[in-house]
A and B are shown apart, each in its own frame.
Chain A
Amino acid sequence: MILHIDMDAYFASLEAQACPSLKGRPLAVGALPGSRGVVASASYEAREFGIRAGMPAAHARRLCPRVEFVPCHPGLYIHTSRRILRRLLGFTPKVEMSGIDEAFLDIGDLLPRGADEGIVWQEAERLAGEVSAAVLSEFGLSCSAGVGPNKAIAKMASKVRKPGGLTLLGESRFRQLFWPQPVERLYGVGAKTASALMIYGIETIGELAATRASLLSRRFGVYGEALHALAWGRDDSPVVPSHASPPAKSLGHEHTLERDLETTDDALSLILALTDRVAADMRREGYAGRCVRIKIRYSDFSALTRQRVLAHPTLETRDLYRTARDLFLDHYCGTGIRLLGVTAAQLQPAEGRAQLPLFPQDRRYRELLQAVDGIRDHFGAHSLLPAGAMRPARAGAGEEEDRRDRRPARPVEPVSR
């Protein structure tokens, strides 16, 4: 039995918590109006006006002129997400974080074995209530819970009653409830797949279930078979505990700018900020990397990606930064920059990186990184920044994106960019 926990308007709730005067008001977190960015999260009060995540800020303002716009604070969201994960691990070690604000818990081991089905569901409901209550009381955050026989049903169940709901869904109840609904409501189906299915006259989940699996696999390959099974409420993907997830091949961050960057100094400051975050992620997740990659998108949308392989794998901010900086200086063509990204690739486990340094200054630098990581672990990633990364030009933050490349654990919808 799987329990899915989905935080309600996660970013907006955290922002309202940080600034109580925003509580109960329509709130849009993300880009500010007048900018070219989009809303990352909207409070339920804002959703009543039709404001949704992914919507341009200017559009949101038109829908509700009195909506409050708040910039993103990714450090805060990530830090809180980690604290919530730690709490959930108190219930069962089988917790898989799925994105920053969702988690699957395999609660099979916590339920009575061989008991009457009614009693098992009753116990699952009690447990789900207990988890939601713990999140609310300890973090002051509301979440919705869904319980089902597998991950797909649990995830769809948590969406049924939001915010603050709790939904139990068996396979037959799932079919009854979801088969009349449009295919987009199916876990893993996006607009692209939905329009591809439309060509075959498949508009509802029930119609998808009634389509022969062989037809779907001819059109969609392995993903087609998975789609058919999902429509029937079948999903055998396991809960992969976050600490046992497949190893990352690369870790990176990129930043879309509010206003184009025009000077090399401003660009280098942003590269330092991004590298600092990449390096901190690597150290926290236990990776050392051998390859540094930068991405520059100019104001005319032309983009370039350049990479350099180091002599040794490293997890030190300064090595990664110097390489990213040199790459930038070697390839920057001097015009306005719209987006910058830094990625570390050719990752390998850092356990073996036990080589002690010869020079005391290198030893001190390692100690410094350890201390910085410790402070950030305690007070959040946003609590300490390199001074060189704090330039006023970037004060109005744009959109930041965490990019990590892991082998997909299940067939996912093909996405074209």
Chain B
Amino acid sequence: MKFSTSQSGFQKALHLVASVVPGKSTLPILETVLVEVSPAGEVTLTATDLDISVRVQRAGEVEEGGRVAVAARRLHDVVRELRDAEISLTGEESGLTLRCASGRYRFVGAPVDDFPGLPEIPDQKPLQVDPAKMERMVRQTLYAVSTDETRPELTGLFLSISDDQMSMVATNGHRLARASLSGAFKQKREMLLPPKALNQLLRLIGDADGPLEISGSKNYARIRIGSTQLYSRLLEGPFPDYEKVIPKSNPLRAVVRREDLLASLRRILVLSDSQTRQVKIMLEPGRLQIMAQYQGAGEAQEELPVDYDGTPLTIGYNGGYLLEMLKTFDGERVEMAFQSAVSAGLFKPAELQPDEDLLCLVMPLRLPGDDAAG
């Protein structure tokens, strides 16, 4: 194997794949990057931790094809520090030699046949999405996944595609976020993606140089962004029937300025119980009050103007849930809709793109002295 390439392009590609390499693995081969060179002039880098794999393709001037696996971090650390525009790499069974104007570096190779193969995913009808829209949907939902290992089905982000809509849903059993995108998708598919893969996706999208394509098999998903591919093992479901818990009619509607509510919550939460993060919200026509108190710390109360003309309502929430949710909203105003102090509150940005939708549910906290059944 012998090829030459630009230092910056090679470093960028290495940077992308190296991020999946586990820091310490019981399988030493997982700490390597697989460098494959085709006589047609394609240089492919692959790394995997068995759950997630990233494969990046770059063009190079190829003299001779071949494959070699070398320690990913070491190769990346050297390439990153090089100041030469062009580098040439020669691979043989024993390793990889990097040459540039300033010097020569030889990396000991690992048995290339031990490198795990990537899952086979049929190439038919991949789903095409605008990377910017995909990124927004992930950001608007990923925060809501559960970290509770006792309920593994809630630790994933649920991607559901129907003929004319694609949705991403996350819930931890107390709150839920659903981002949807309309489009002519013309297929039906459901997959439960691990957050680790989506964090990786966000990293790759930042570097996107083309459309995003999603395809999948029973156990794996593949997301292609230009010349980069992300493979992820899927989580086992079933994801709970979330449609059922979305309230059909929450008659008490209020609209408030997002920035004001967000800033107010940030201040109020300082004086809330650090465990429950309980805040009390009191709505009455034209006025929204937020309160918190924490024994031994103090108490806080703020008042915000609100567009509301319903009956007065007092409702408790985990303020942390509201804060995390509001941070992902765009636009100036937030729409809220309630039914009672013990049923799910519905939140969404008041302004949305015509083909996008975002809906969030947050279950209240039962306030002390409030003994209605929940």
Contacts and interface: CB of A to CB of B under 8 A. Distances in A.
A359 B343 CA distance: 11
B240 interface: yes
B143 to A, nearest CB: 14
Contact of B342 (A314, A323, A352, A356): A356
A329 to B, nearest CB: 13
Interface string B349-374: 00000000000010111111000001
B interface: dominant SS: loop
Given A348-B275, A362-B173, A363-B374, A355 B363 contact: yes
Interface in B149-207: 149-150, 171, 173-176
B150 A355 contact: no
Contact of B148 (A312, A356, A360): A312
Interface residues of B, number: 29
Interface in A251-270: none
Given A310-B150, A312-B148, A319-B150, A358 B344 contact: yes
B244 A360 contact: yes
A103 B146 CA distance: 45
Contacts of A355: 174, 276, 318, 363, 365-366
B31 interface: no
Contacts of B365: 354-356
Given A319-B150, A362-B173, A352 B240 contact: no
Contact of A358 (B175, B273, B276): B175
Contacts of A192: none
A276 to B, nearest CB: 15
B32 interface: no
Find the residue from B175, B244, B276 having the highest chain A CB count within 10 A: B276
A319 B151 CA distance: 8
Interface string B9-36: 0000000000000000000000000000
A352 B276 CA distance: 6
Contacts of A353: 276
Contacts of A312: 148
A359 B150 contact: no
B52 to A, nearest CB: 22
A357 interface: yes
Interface residues of A, number: 25
B228 interface: no
Interface string A341-371: 0000000100111111111111100000000
A319 B366 CA distance: 21
Interface in A316-338: 318-319, 322-323, 326
B291 to A, nearest CB: 16
B276 A354 contact: yes
B316 interface: yes
A311 interface: yes
B147 A358 contact: no
Contacts of B149: 308, 310-311, 323, 326
Contacts of A357: 173-174, 363, 374
Given A313-B275, A356-B366, A358-B175, 6 more contacts: A318-B150, A323-B150, A354-B365, A357-B374, A358-B245, A359-B240
23 contacts: A311-B148, A311-B149, A314-B150, A318-B150, A319-B150, A322-B150, A323-B150, A352-B273, A352-B278, A354-B276, A354-B365, A355-B318, A355-B363, A356-B174, A356-B364, A356-B366, A357-B173, A357-B174, A358-B175, A358-B363, A359-B245, A360-B245, A363-B374
Interface of B: 146-150, 171, 173-176, 240, 244-245, 273, 275-276, 278, 316, 318, 342, 344, 361, 363-368, 374
